[in-house]
Structure 1
């Protein structure tokens, strides 16, 4: 298990093993999320949302909201 020391100004050095595993480089951001009271998870925020562009192709046929609602209603009627 990696560990680090909290300095007087609130700074901490992320251990090299953790930085390497997360792919962190100088200037990258990390986010902290409270999982349980007193327990946090750290997530590397190294990719922008724009890097996701193009991952999902556009549908060949567009579907209207009315068509979606009709399909949902029909599926609900089957159960």
Structure 2
């Protein structure tokens, strides 16, 4: 068991090995859950995204979007080995 010293301000410093185990890098966040019996659980906060965050991700500036007909034509040529 690794002991951690509490500072006069009530702060603790987590060792690099523990942060590495949690997958935490500088600037990232952790959550601390209180459990019965005076225990706590420390976990890395993992970003959660929404599907709408991905909209426009593949958009190319300066190009008009392809129509469904153009996409189907390109796909058909690809399957036929013409591309």
TM-score scaled by length of structure 2: 0.53
Structure 1: runs of 5+ lacking an equivalent: 55-79
Separation in structure 2 between the aligned mates of residue 39 and residue 11 of structure 1, nearest angstrom:
17
Structure 2: runs of 5+ lacking an equivalent: 52-83
Runs of at least 4 residues off by over 4 Å: none
| Larger RCO of the pair (alpha carbons < 8 Å, separation 6+) | 1
* Superposed CA RMSD: 1.6
| Number of residue-to-residue matches in the alignment | 51
Structure showing greater Rg: 2
Query: Higher strand fraction: Structure 1 or Structure 2?
Result: 1
Alignment of 1:22-61 (within 5 A): 22-45=22-45, 47-50=46-49, 53=50
